[in-house]
Amino acid sequence: MQVLVIHKIKHTPEVIIDSEKNEFSIRGFSRPENVESFFEQIYIWISKKAEAVSRNPHNLKIIIDLEYFNSSSLIHLLQFLTRCVEIKGNESVGISWFYDNENDDSLEVCRDFAELLKVHIKKIRRINNVTV
């Protein structure tokens, strides 16, 4: 299986990780009751597919489009991105970060992550749920 799909429910985001296309996305709300359990399934899958992702000639494309994330999810999101950068390398990872125009916290997290990971993160602003 080359694709991991976790369907979005009330408190968890949709996650699609396609190791063949080298495209990963996390979208929606992230405040799972058991954040460790939720992200553990992602970590396990990435570990199993790390070699395939690493060998894939295409850059790794990551989309973070979270309308809300709690502090526990934030920690795991950073771990997820760190693992991706470790597998593929700073120069071969492209991250797009969607944020709401009125959510300064999300934009600040994006900037902090870019600095910590030493990668460029493309910031994509939404105004009234419309991407601009």
What's the pLDDT score for residue 27?
96
For residue 86, what are its two tokens?
């470790």
pLDDT tens-place string over residues 7-54: 999 899 999 999 889 999 999 999 999 999 999 999 999 998 888 888
- Please, which pLDDT band fits residue 130 given cuts at 50, 70 and 90? low
Average pLDDT over every residue of 87-95:
89
**Percentage above 70 pLDDT, the chain:** 95
How far apart CA 43 and CA 51 sit, in angstroms, is: 14
How far apart CA 59 and CA 91 sit, in angstroms, is: 8
Q: Cβ distance 72 to 34 under 8 Å?
A: no
What global pTM score does this model have?
0.90
For residue 65, what are its two tokens?
């489009």
63 residue type, one letter: I
